[in-house]
Chain A
Amino acid sequence: MSQSLDDISRQLKARHRKSRRLHWMSMTALLLAGAFLLAFLADMIGKGYPAFVQAEIQAEIHYSEMAKDIPLAAVDEDMRELVSRGFLRLIPNEMEANPELLGTTRMRWVVADDQVDQYLKGHYHQLDDEQVAIVDRLVEEGRADLRFNTYFFTNGDSKLPEIAGIQAAVVGSILTLFVTLAFAFPVGVMTAIYLEEFAPDNKFTQAIEININNLAAVPSILFGLLGLAIFINFFGVPRSSALVGGLTLGLMTLPIIIISSRAALRSVPDSIRQAAFGVGATRWQVVRDHVLPLSLPGILTGSIIGLAQAMGETAPLIIIGMIAFIPDAPNSITQAATVMPAQIFTWAGMPERAYIERTAAGILVLLSVLITLNASAVYLRKKFERRW
């Protein structure tokens, strides 16, 4: 069967059309994925930014004898429901620390109740008409305002949404990640060095390799069960502590660090090793003085990515007790601690609506840290990337 040239050119047109279609489709796919990311970030920013401001009102604080026992008495009656309890309950302590306050009255800007906050932000609130009128009057007089929310960054968790913050969770995250890194980085890099530079190619080595690939795919929640059984029940590491969290997350991060470190070690050309052996270096000297320094940027990049993943992980922490009410920042790795994603999870389940924006704001903080980590990994990779 022979085809006319017309047929062929028609066919050719169709084939090229098809070809262009694949081009467009694949481009759309990439754009779609990018659009997801944008939509997601926009949603979170939209929900989260109100939490960065917080209603404050100017109120007269009467440091009376009575306020020592009943802090509520320190403010005028019409303001009692509008001022945060988180502020009022500290008045007796304040008076004890500064006895000269007794008998004085001061005008102070104090944090407002979450209902006032929600009202000023135009959200649903539970203030009655009378209270709304008072707040409206205060706003007119310039005595109530939305101001930058420092509490969010300096306080720990609270049952009062207006003074709830992420400081304790941030400190907990740092301590936990410190343990994770201190454990997973050396062990991971050593494993990678062994497998790449020292191990003989036998069944045992292959078993280790396959096992590491498997570990990378094991669901994170199973690591939680492991942490509970081994670290807490067997070794007696205190529950909810940064130590047990860090070790559990460390085991989870281990395969990521091993896999990326191996790739980095492998990318160092053999000629370098041969040259070093040639001048009489031992295997360890070759690794320590030549291969390791050359592959360090790659190893660091992989470790940062592993760390970022550990930082966002929540599921195993439920099992080892880190999802709890822990408002004080820990000051050692054996103290109870919570981490940022755990804090986000707790807030997401709270009935008070002021927590929704705090959840989103917490997410924004966490995301900015994670994106910074990832970006620095990409930067490191670009800066030190070497083509041999």
Chain B
Amino acid sequence: MKTIAKTSFAVAALVAGTIGTAEARDQLRIVGSSTVFPFASYVAEELGATTKWPTPVIESTGSGGGMKLFCAGNGLDTPDITNASRQMKVSEFERCQENGVTDITQAVIGYDGIAFAQSKDNDPINLTREQITLAVAKEVPQGGKLVPNPYKNWSEIDSSLPDREIIIYGPPTTSGTRDAFEELVMEAASEEIDGYGGEYTKIRQDGVYVPSGENDNLIVQKLEQNTDAFGIFGYSFLEENEDKLQGAKIDGVAPEADAISSGEYPVSRSLFFYIKNSHADDVPAMSDYVELFMSEKMIGEIGYLKGIGLIPLPKDVREDMRERVAEREQLELSDLK
């Protein structure tokens, strides 16, 4: 019994000693898109290594999951920043407003091109968005009505294309990359093709289009192994594997940093993060993080993030954005499309 009593005293002393070690929140909490995740982690690590702040915690929850957490309220247990590979939706904005998260600043950090890539063993190829749409659509217009997609071979779509089996590894339905692909390729092309009646974004499910994880090393192996195949993924992944893969030209433009930055390459999207300004005072690391992220050293023409695949904004847009973020311009409903 004596030992028990002794231990309980020791434990009590220990517990009493730890009271007061709790501190104000220095650590930034960031959630959101898996596409922005590598860039944000890079900045976070830099912040942790070179300043007095602890490294921010970054969770890859997907854009939607991030918005849900971000908009849950103003409490300090909610994230300070959410990354997104698409703009905030109106419904998400309204949700934020309902929960009192009204002072939000939107930052655009750059572009992510969506590449249509194949193995290096192939000849370079030039595809149009219409051709790609016809290859991946669930149905194609024939004789005035939609029939299940019969194409198994690229040359069936257009005789100028090689005699090559159509097989495409692309993002799954849960991915923002797929959303962007549908919008930028299929929706745009289906407006040009008679018979789709405007917006058509259904993707075939007969095994020609194979949903795959987007940041998956396996997709490279697959493309190497099956030289007929194409893969759809973010430009950064293409760049990382340039020894094995090449990007197809789309509408005559190759997926290269300059073309994406200038908007010439048709399939690219902006990457965002959103700042919860109500946390600015309680989480002092936030302004340093934002400043570092928006700095030329990170998102500039020769910034570090370019080295890992971020396409910088054009110079004037970038400077304008930096200024607007520095002023913490408040996001309005009218800013969202």
Contacts and interface: CB of A to CB of B under 8 A. Distances in A.
Whether A and B touch directly in their complex, counting CB atoms under 8 A apart, is answered as: yes
Interface of A: 85-86, 89-90, 92-93, 124, 126, 156, 158-160, 236, 238-240, 321, 323-328, 332, 335-336, 349, 351-352, 356
A327 B48 contact: yes
Residue of B44, B46, B217 contacting most chain A CB atoms (<10 Å): B217
Contacts of B54: 328
B57 A240 contact: yes
A126 B240 CA distance: 10
Nearest to B54: A328
Indicate the size class of the contact surface on chain B: 35 or more
A92 B57 CA distance: 24
Residue of A90, A156, A160, A351 contacting most chain B CB atoms (<10 Å): A351
Contacts of A238: 77
Given A124-B243, A238-B77, A325 B44 contact: yes
Contacts of A126: 243
A128 to B, nearest CB: 12
Contact of A325 (B22, B41, B46): B41
Contact of B58 (A85, A92, A160, A324): A324
A236 B77 contact: yes
B240 A325 contact: no
A336 B236 CA distance: 28
A335 B27 contact: yes
Given A159-B41, A336-B27, A351-B215, A323 B60 contact: yes
Given A325-B37, A327-B44, A349-B215, 12 more contacts: A90-B49, A93-B50, A124-B243, A158-B45, A159-B41, A159-B308, A240-B59, A324-B57, A328-B27, A328-B55, A351-B241, A356-B217
A95 B241 CA distance: 37
Contacts of B21: 332
A324 B45 CA distance: 13
A94 to B, nearest CB: 11
A90 B49 CA distance: 7
A89 B49 contact: yes
B123 interface: no
B59 A324 contact: yes
A89 B50 contact: yes
Interface string B296-319: 000000001000100000000000
Residue of B38, B45, B241, B304 contacting most chain A CB atoms (<10 Å): B45
Interface string B39-70: 01110111011100011011111000000010
B276 interface: no
Q: Across the A-B interface, give the 8 residue pairs with the lowest CB-CB distance, nearest first.
A: A324-B59, A336-B57, A325-B41, A325-B58, A351-B240, A159-B42, A327-B55, A328-B55
A155 to B, nearest CB: 10
Contacts of A323: 59-60
A326 B57 contact: yes
A217 to B, nearest CB: 28
B61 A321 contact: yes
Nearest to B61: A321
Contact of B216 (A327, A328, A349): A349
Nearest to A86: B49
Contacts of B77: 236, 238-239
A86 B21 CA distance: 30
A324 B240 contact: no
Nearest to B51: A93
Contacts of B46: 89
A324 B56 CA distance: 11
Contacts of A93: 50
A89 B215 CA distance: 27
22 contacts: A89-B50, A156-B55, A159-B38, A239-B59, A239-B69, A240-B59, A321-B59, A324-B59, A325-B45, A325-B60, A327-B55, A328-B27, A328-B48, A332-B21, A335-B27, A336-B27, A349-B215, A349-B217, A351-B215, A351-B240, A351-B241, A356-B217
